[in-house]
């Protein structure tokens, strides 16, 4: 038996339960991992609330963690018992002491990267990797807008954009978060609590606006994002922190300058063929000192509900991890 977080009904953080469960034995192509650290991400709240459906209830939660392989299936050749590994995909259930998942979602973890670093950075870091290196290959001196620049993904985006020589304008909700984003490498910040984002983007770019807007907030920032991108520019809508974008009128894209829009997901980019290479680039950014993984909050696994409450209330900065 082991401990995990599960939920039997959709709802707020109060539906999360800390319970005993029987870990599954690995199937032929599966691996069982003893978690040492677990990542907390906004997408976890989507499954809990029901915005994203779960296969069945009760359900485990979470898709990101790092630990040690303790059992492997008969057909697994990529990892062995005792290997240090990390993951940011697979079936829900990372909020647990032990997690069984397909071998194809695991990456080998170099000794230079700690379990806590890996759990804090895998999903967020791989997200920035595909956003900046694949969805749109960000180039030196390009100006971009990145919403929620002091959050978990945004904190890494500020650093990665600086390393690439790009000018990242980050939206934030307070002077403290503005200072954090600037310290991490943002070219400029806009505090949307008292500044007009569209007006400030126009001022900062001399009226040209941005080549790309990266929007992980969703419903609340959708219109703003469209107004901040230059003609024939790209809006990358990669998250729904404020709710899903719906009812999109394609005519708006024409009227605002023949804009392009994409709604990417990590699962589409981080395939079995590309995952390890993406992770290796991410780990290389960390070991070279270009990315600093700051873990600002740590909670015991049993306090996952409290951690999610703080995350949803935008009272966290940087990464948050759960410790089994």
Helix H, strand E, coil C: the string for 78-94 is CCCCCCEEEECCCCCCC
33 contacts 68 by C-beta, under 8 angstroms: yes
Paired tokens of 95: 């909020």
| Chain segment 71-86, per-residue pLDDT in tens | 999 999 999 999 999 9
Paired tokens of 47: 């499954």
CATH architecture for residues 2-121+292-323: Alpha-Beta Complex (3.90)
Determine the pLDDT at residue 218: 84
Determine the pLDDT at residue 296: 86
Q: Is 162 helix (H, G, I), strand (E, B) or coil?
A: helix
Distance in angstroms (rounded) separating the CA atoms of residues 134 and 20: 41
Distance in angstroms (rounded) separating the CA atoms of residues 151 and 257: 30
Distance in angstroms (rounded) separating the CA atoms of residues 269 and 271: 6
Could you tell me the pLDDT band of residue 246, with boundaries at 50, 70 and 90? confident
DSSP-derived letter for residue 302 is G
Domain ranges of the chain: 2-121+292-323, 140-262
29 against 43, higher pLDDT: 29
What's the CATH number for 140-262? 3.40.50.720
Could you tell me the pLDDT band of residue 294, with boundaries at 50, 70 and 90? confident
Determine the pLDDT at residue 193: 92
204: left (phi over 0), alpha (psi -120 to 50) or beta: alpha
| Domains 2-121+292-323 and 140-262 are alike in CATH topology | no
Distance in angstroms (rounded) separating the CA atoms of residues 7 and 47: 10
Percent of the chain with pLDDT over 90: 88
Mean of pLDDT values over 37-41:
96
> Which helix H or strand E contains 109, and what residues bound it?
none
pLDDT value at 317 more than 80: no
* pLDDT averaged over every residue in the chain: 95
| Chain segment 129-152, per-residue pLDDT in tens | 999 999 999 999 999 999 999 988
Full-model pTM: 0.90
């Amino acid at each position: 038996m082991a401990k995990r977080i599960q939920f039997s009904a959709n709802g707020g953080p109060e539906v999360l339960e800390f319970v005993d469960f029987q870990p599954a034995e690995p199937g032929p192509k599966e691996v069982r991992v003893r978690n040492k650290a677990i990542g907390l991400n906004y997408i976890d709240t989507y499954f809990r609330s029901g915005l994203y459906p779960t296969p069945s209830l009760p359900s485990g939660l979470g898709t990101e963690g790092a630990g040690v392989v303790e059992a492997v299936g008969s057909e697994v050749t990529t990892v062995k018992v005792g290997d240090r590994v990390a993951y940011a995909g697979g079936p829900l259930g990372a909020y647990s002491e032990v997690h069984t998942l397909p071998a194809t979602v695991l990456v080998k973890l170099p000794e230079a990267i700690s379990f806590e670093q890996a759990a804090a950075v895998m999903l967020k870091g791989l997200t920035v990797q595909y956003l900046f290196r694949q969805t749109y290959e960000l180039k030196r001196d390009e100006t971009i807008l990145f919403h929620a620049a002091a959050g978990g993904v945004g904190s890494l985006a500020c650093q990665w954009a600086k390393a690439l020589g790009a000018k990242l304008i980050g939206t934030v909700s307070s002077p403290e978060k503005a200072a954090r984003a600037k310290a991490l490498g943002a070219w400029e910040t806009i505090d949307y609590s008292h500044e007009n984002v569209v007006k400030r983007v126009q001022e900062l770019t001399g009226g040209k606006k941005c080549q790309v807007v990266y929007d992980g907030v969703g419903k609340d920032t959708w219109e703003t994002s469209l107004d901040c991108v230059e003609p024939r520019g790209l809006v990358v809508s990669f998250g729904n922190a404020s709710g899903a974008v719906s009812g999109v009128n394609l005519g708006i894209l024409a009227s605002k300058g023949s804009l392009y829009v994409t709604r990417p997901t990590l699962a589409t980019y981080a395939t079995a063929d590309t995952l390890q290479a993406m992770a290796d680039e991410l780990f290389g950014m960390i070991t070279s000192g270009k990315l600093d993984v700051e873990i600002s909050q740590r909670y015991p696994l049993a306090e996952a509900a409290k951690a999610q409450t703080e995350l949803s209330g935008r009272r966290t900065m940087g990464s948050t991890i759960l410790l089994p």
